[in-house]
Copies of this chain bind each other. A is one copy, B any other.
Amino acid sequence: MRISSLSEKEFLEKVFAARQFSKSDGALLADTLVDADLRGISSHGIQRLAWYTSMIKEHIIEPQNKLKVIKETPTSLLIDANKNMGQIATAFAEKQLIKKTQKLGLSVAVIRNSNHFGTAGYYARMAAKQGLIGIALTNTRPLVVPTNATEAFLGSNAFAFTFPAEPHPFVFDGATSIVSSGKIQVLAKNNQPIPGDWAVDDHRRVMHDAQKVEDNLAKVAFTEKQPGGGVLTLGGLLQSNSNYKGFGNSLVVELLTGILAQGSISADTNKPGHHDFSQFLLTINPELFGNLDDLKKSAEEMFDRLRHLKHLPGTEIMIPGDREYRRYAENLKQGVVIDDKTAAELKTIGEELAIPVPEAI
């Protein structure tokens, strides 16, 4: 079914208020989920609400906790998210970085003791809206199997990068692994096979049954006893296809998040009642180097040349961001898609809190 993004936002704000988030925190959380659904990134939209709710009940998320600024310099911020949602600490940090970067040209923040923060792109886009280059990283629960390994250790470790441009910024936003676990969840939900070499068992044999992979990942990511197997790095199964480069990219994120923030690395976020994700933000003012309008124009010209390269019949060449802004415009009109399982979860959540759920349009 589809619901209007407006009704989705109202519902979410009421739920978050009932769960003791402050009004402004609840509005932010709602906005990040609605924004993801509008962009067609449903893996990071309202379908996360049941998970967020269970984490609140387990005190993995503490909605009333205030973040703490541990250390601040004119170019940096170290923040303790204090077990509250990652969105709250990260949006706060991004706003501070934008101010710092407008003064000194670039700045960096790391956040520890945090939780899921929605899409990494949300924060990197905040920078792009101010004419800045934005980078946002997070580690995650352990899911990803390094080159040659037969057990998971790395997170799917999101990387978002934005560069100002019109009609929309360049927005590269996704897991550094070959896919995020959300993509596998969606296939499992719909009884579809995995179309590529995404996941392996405890002997590094490729698995295509999405439900079996999903069942295994639930153990891999959420229990301390590792059954083996997991998601592959970008580059896939084989060292001959340079899968160690995907491994390297994932490790860069581990170093800049869990290590630099002195929080947990992904491998240590699978303890019961424990989350402790870490995030990393960097913003750069492109006007350190040139006029913003000129730089945007150069980028847009490159994107247009790319879109018009010779390509396979029946395909198109899309620039990172093209798809999500196209879907944003469509879903704003048509409403956002809610799958049946999520609809049922929302019904349960609404009944528990006596909040009416959004109606299908």
Residues of B within 8 A of A248 (CB): 161, 172, 174, 320
Question: Taking the complex as formed, is A265 at the interface, i.e. its CB lies under 8 A from any CB of chain B?
Answer: yes
In the complex, chain A residues 258-302 whose Cβ is within 8 Å of any chain B Cβ? 259-262, 265, 267, 284, 286, 288-290, 294-295, 298-299, 302
Are B110 and A262 in contact, with the CB atoms below 8 A? no
Are B178 and A241 in contact, with the CB atoms below 8 A? yes
Residues of B within 8 A of A105 (CB): 73-76, 108
Closest residue on chain B to residue A319 by CB atoms: B251
Question: Taking the complex as formed, is A306 at the interface, i.e. its CB lies under 8 A from any CB of chain B?
Answer: yes
Are B262 and A78 in contact, with the CB atoms below 8 A? no
Cα–Cα, bound, A166→B176 (Å): 26
Shortest beta-carbon distance from A116 to chain B in Å = 21
Are A71 and B289 in contact, with the CB atoms below 8 A? yes
Question: Taking the complex as formed, is A255 at the interface, i.e. its CB lies under 8 A from any CB of chain B?
Answer: yes
Shortest beta-carbon distance from A154 to chain B in Å = 8
Are A260 and B295 in contact, with the CB atoms below 8 A? yes
Shortest beta-carbon distance from A304 to chain B in Å = 12
Are B262 and A148 in contact, with the CB atoms below 8 A? no
Are A298 and B262 in contact, with the CB atoms below 8 A? yes
Question: Taking the complex as formed, is A167 at the interface, i.e. its CB lies under 8 A from any CB of chain B?
Answer: no
Are B108 and A284 in contact, with the CB atoms below 8 A? yes
Shortest beta-carbon distance from A165 to chain B in Å = 9
Question: Taking the complex as formed, is A249 at the interface, i.e. its CB lies under 8 A from any CB of chain B?
Answer: yes
Closest residue on chain B to residue A170 by CB atoms: B255
Are A288 and B234 in contact, with the CB atoms below 8 A? no
User: Which one of B78, B172, B251, B290 contacts A170 once the chains associate, using CB atoms below 8 Å?
Assistant: B251
Give 23 pairs: A residue, B residue, CB < 8 Å, sorted on A.
A73-B104, A73-B105, A75-B105, A76-B289, A106-B108, A108-B288, A148-B317, A149-B311, A153-B305, A161-B248, A163-B255, A170-B255, A172-B251, A174-B248, A176-B245, A197-B241, A202-B310, A234-B242, A235-B235, A248-B320, A255-B299, A260-B289, A262-B289
In the complex, chain A residues 329-345 whose Cβ is within 8 Å of any chain B Cβ? none
Could you say which interface size class chain A belongs to?
35 or more
Are B316 and A148 in contact, with the CB atoms below 8 A? yes
Are B196 and A238 in contact, with the CB atoms below 8 A? yes
Residues of B within 8 A of A197 (CB): 241
Shortest beta-carbon distance from A324 to chain B in Å = 12
Are B295 and A149 in contact, with the CB atoms below 8 A? no
Are A310 and B255 in contact, with the CB atoms below 8 A? no
Are A249 and B251 in contact, with the CB atoms below 8 A? no
Are B267 and A305 in contact, with the CB atoms below 8 A? yes
In the complex, chain A residues 145-201 whose Cβ is within 8 Å of any chain B Cβ? 146-151, 153, 161, 163, 170, 172, 174, 176, 178-179, 195-198
Are A242 and B178 in contact, with the CB atoms below 8 A? yes
In the complex, chain A residues 107-158 whose Cβ is within 8 Å of any chain B Cβ? 107-108, 110, 133, 146-151, 153
Are B289 and A78 in contact, with the CB atoms below 8 A? yes
Shortest beta-carbon distance from A48 to chain B in Å = 22
Shortest beta-carbon distance from A89 to chain B in Å = 14
Question: Taking the complex as formed, is A312 at the interface, i.e. its CB lies under 8 A from any CB of chain B?
Answer: yes
Are B178 and A235 in contact, with the CB atoms below 8 A? yes
Q: A73-B288, A260-B290, A288-B71 are in contact. Are A196 and B150 (CB under 8 A)?
A: no
User: Which one of B228, B234, B238 contacts A235 once the chains associate, using CB atoms below 8 Å?
Assistant: B234
User: Which one of B240, B245, B288, B302 contacts A259 once the chains associate, using CB atoms below 8 Å?
Assistant: B302
